[in-house]
């Protein structure tokens, strides 16, 4: 091993120090960033609505001593019907063997809507968004925000936690938090914290690709099972259709002309 010169060490130190941290935006710039990333999320939500993909849900439960219990698995394809309607087709759904917890309608909504969290311009008014500083998400330079619903309506599910917004593309690349909502009285449900990661799929938008949760759920009856859950979103493909869509009236098919009859 060869010793480095003092000058080289000092030069490297100055270079690293100068590149260590970007300055935080001003208050006015933060408001602009929030507005812009909400618009970008709206664009992404519309784009994702035109993609098919496979969603694989895997959940395992463990008792308080760490012994494995039952499991829940579901593989489904998010597809389009020949009429262009977006729907879900179950590919594989073995009978659940859970015995320590139960999957509720709220859990199903969270898998579908909250864990792949998208904060659009339409929804951002329902949330308090607070700037926390700069942070990296897997070497991606990001703005970090705390997100919390202002108010909640019965029957709706919300996200509370933190989001990492790419400081170049101004799109969410990672979320960490939990799903919340108003529950009926004496409804003892607990929901795990989760992390969702996105990747740039089409060279333009960041799509959810992986969600993981590893939490102990503390119920009012004193039971505290642990769950480990993962969701994979893969095989994104843009839906293409030859169907014509018209506005202002019904589409009519033009009948082929009959060949001219000889005189």
| Mean pLDDT of the region 21-37 | 94
Q: Are 48 and 126 in contact (CB under 8 A)?
A: no
Give dist(CA 172, CA 39) in Å, integer.
12
State how far the Cα of 61 lies from the Cα of 102, in Å rounded to an integer.
10
Q: What is the chain's mean pLDDT, rounded? A: 86
Q: Which pLDDT band, with edges at 50, 70 and 90, does 86 fall under?
A: confident
Tokens standing for residue 250: 């019904």
What are the angstrom distances between the C-alpha of 199 and each of 5, 53, 106, 239, 246? 42, 14, 26, 19, 34
Give the pLDDT score at 184.
85
Show me where the domains of the chain are located.
Answer: 24-238
Helices within the chain (DSSP H only): 6-18, 27-48, 105-109
pLDDT digits (tens, 9 = 90+) for 42-76: 999 999 989 999 999 999 999 999 999 999 999 99
Share of the chain above pLDDT 90, in %: 75
Task: Tell which wins on pLDDT, 230 or 238.
Answer: 230
Q: What is the pLDDT of residues 151-169, one digit of tens each?
A: 999 999 999 999 999 999 9
HSE-up (13 A, CA, CB side) for residue 22:
13
Pick the residue with more confidence: 21 or 231?
Answer: 231
What is the pTM (predicted TM-score) of this model? 0.81
Q: What's the CA angle centered on 105, arms 120 and 98, to 5 degrees?
A: 125
pLDDT at 20: 54
| Residue of 135, 161, 157 lying closest to 148 (CA atoms) | 161
Long-range contacts (CB closer than 8 Å, 24 or more residues apart) made by 90-99? 91/54, 96/70, 96/71, 96/72, 97/69, 97/70, 97/71, 97/72, 98/59, 98/61, 98/69, 98/70, 98/71, 98/72, 99/61, 99/69, 99/70
């Amino acid at each position: 091993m060869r010793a480095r010169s003092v000058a080289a060490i000092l030069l490297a130190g100055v270079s690293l120090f100068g590149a260590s941290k970007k300055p935080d935006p001003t208050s006015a710039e933060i408001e602009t960033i929030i507005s812009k990333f909400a618009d970008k999320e709206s664009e992404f939500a519309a784009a994702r609505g035109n993609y098919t993909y496979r969603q694989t849900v895997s959940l395992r439960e463990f008792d308080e001593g760490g012994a494995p219990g039952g499991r829940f698995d579901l593989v489904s394809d998010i597809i389009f019907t020949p009429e262009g309607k977006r729907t879900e087709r179950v590919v594989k759904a073995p009978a659940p063997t859970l015995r320590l917890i139960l999957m509720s309608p709220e859990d199903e909504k969270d898998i579908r809507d909250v864990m792949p969290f998208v904060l659009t311009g339409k929804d951002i008014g329902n949330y308090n968004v607070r700037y926390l500083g700069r942070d990296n998400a897997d070497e991606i330079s990001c703005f970090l925000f705390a997100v919390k619903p202002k108010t909640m309506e019965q029957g709706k599910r919300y996200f509370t936690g933190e989001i990492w917004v790419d400081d170049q593309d101004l799109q969410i690349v990672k979320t960490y938090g939990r799903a919340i909502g108003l529950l009926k009285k004496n409804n003892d449900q607990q929901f795990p914290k989760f992390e969702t990661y996105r990747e740039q799929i089409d060279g333009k938008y960041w799509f959810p690709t992986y969600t993981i949760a590893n939490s102990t759920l503390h119920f009012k009856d004193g039971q505290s099972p642990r769950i480990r859950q993962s969701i994979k979103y893969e095989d994104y493909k843009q839906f293409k259709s030859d169907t014509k869509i018209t506005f202002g009236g019904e589409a009519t098919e033009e009948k082929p002309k009959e060949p001219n009859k000889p005189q």
